[in-house]
Amino acid sequence: MELLEKIYTIQGRLNRLRFWKYYVGWLLFSTLTGLVLGFFLGFLTTDPKSLLVTVPTGIWSFMAGVGTIMINIRRLHDLDKSGWWLLVALVPFVNIIFLLYLWLAPGTVGRNRFGSDPLEN
């Protein structure tokens, strides 16, 4: 439960190292969980496209996507940007530059409007 509490929040900041640990860890966890869920639910029915398979895996995919968005919002907070800036990732071509900035730029040194510097803790 502690992992989910760390993922499903938009409060605070994530520095680059912690961001990458959460991002990669969450990506692996959510992908493996989705695969296992689909695999086992597929055994319960002869039709892999049945509602018994697609609804639970769709719900899990949505929950995993929300977790990923929340991780990225906390990273934006470290850069002293609002979470709404994540919408820039929907603009073709601009999104590549924006995501590189989000993933690689150093965070704000010291306290900003979203909290204290995670490197000071």
φ, ψ (nearest 5 deg) of residue 117: -65, 125
pLDDT digits (tens, 9 = 90+) for 37-54: 888 887 887 776 778 888
Which DSSP symbol is given to 115? B
Q: Look at residue 59 and give its three-state secondary structure.
A: helix
Predicted TM-score (pTM) of the model is 0.87
Per-residue confidence (pLDDT) for residue 24, from 0 to 100: 94
- The string of DSSP codes covering 20-34 is HHHHHHHHHHHHHHH
Which residues, in sequence order, are CB contacts of 23 under 8 Å at separation 6+?
A: 68, 71, 72
Across the range 45-72, mean pLDDT stands at 87
Task: Quickly tell me which residue has 């470290």 as its tokens.
Answer: 78
Nearest to 86, CA basis, from 65, 110, 106: 65
pLDDT of residue 70 exceeding 90: yes
In Å, what is the CA distance from 46 to each residue of 41, 55, 57? 10, 16, 16
Q: How confident is the model at residue 66 (pLDDT cuts 50, 70, 90)?
A: very high
